[in-house]
Structure 1
Amino acid sequence: MRPPKAERPAHGYSIPDGEARQAWTAMIDAVRQRVAAEGLADVILFHGTSERALDGIAIEGMEAIECSHALPPDDRDDERFGTFWGSIDTAATYADDTAAERHEDSLPVIIAIHVSTLEWLASIVPDGATVDFPLDGLTLLHDPDVAAYWSDFGMTRPWRESLRDLGAVLALHGQNIHIDDMTVIRSMDDFDLVVEETRKTRQPSAAAAAPAI
């Protein structure tokens, strides 16, 4: 018998205005539901940050930070740079943390990127930092079988398994990611545009593409 699913974190605590906080949490809920309904979990990834950090990202792009601590244990002697991405709930949690703890008096921000774009710009690998320091409600590591599976892993483990079990992945890249390669999600209208662009670029399956007989 698998253990019960951990309760999802409460989002929006970094937003002082009650009405704005309610609108933010409603947007996060709507994005989560849309992702699940349309099977977009491994098609669109999310990054959480703050409005203050976004000012710099808009000018310089998303900077790759030193992240060797997040590599698999046997690879942490190498200095590597990258950025962290994940599910909408993971991104929302880190957006709150950044806005409340690192950039006080700022507000949380969600940035989305197409997986196809990120794979072009970076190498996506499992997020070892989440294995070491999981946040309640964001991973499946409360399940002993899942925890055992992630007790030892390497760079070749598929990143989609990291996204599935840990809610997070690591993108290794040297150059900054330009703001035009990402989308800031301030409303469902913004996310609708991301989804619509995804529909244009996704390849149909072999079965769907086959001519009718």
Structure 2
Amino acid sequence: MTLGSLIGALIALAVLLLVWAVLIYNRLVARKQQTQEGWSGIDVQLKRRANLIPNLVETVKAYTAHERRTLESLTEMRRRALAAENAPAGTRAAVEERLGSALGHLFAVAENYPDLKASDSYLALQEELSDIEDHIQMARRYYNGTVRNLNTLIDSFPSTLIAQRFGFMKADYYEVDQAADRALPQLRLGDDGA
């Protein structure tokens, strides 16, 4: 083997390694972008839910004047959820869990008011909230799937070499901490005779 062919082989190897590194880097960037897109989807649905709460509170207030503490608690949880907008996924999930619990409590209180349960505006808000909760669950599943893909790529060899070199960090899953909070509030649509 001549010196020229050895240099040519080394250059070819260097070019292949560079192409390989660029391809892995681009995959990491794409997975990171998908994860950010997934979080954005959750954020949109959480904002939709937060924006619906004032209307729900006003509707319930008209029928349940003496349930002020429940309504104040829900309003406070909404304020905290909006304030946690830029918080890490784990922190945001905990705040949103508390908001979901407060909503569940509101619906439990509303069960004691037959006129409220029969109100068209209450039923429409309840149906819209149920739809939003479904969208939140879909967005959470998508986000967690993108987090799984990103984290797997970051942990896999040889892409871990590129991830470490360029500072790619694993993302946090959007998880519910307590088993009791994993269930969505049960929403009853329409008058079930109760």
> Does TM, normalized by the shorter one, top 0.5?
no
Whose strand proportion is higher, 1 or 2?
A: 1
Q: Which has the higher contact order (CA 8 A, sep 6+)?
A: 2
Give TM-score scaled by structure 1 length: 0.27
Query: What TM-score results when the alignment is normalised by the length of structure 2?
Result: 0.29
Q: Would you tell me which structure has more helix in proportion to its own residues?
A: 2
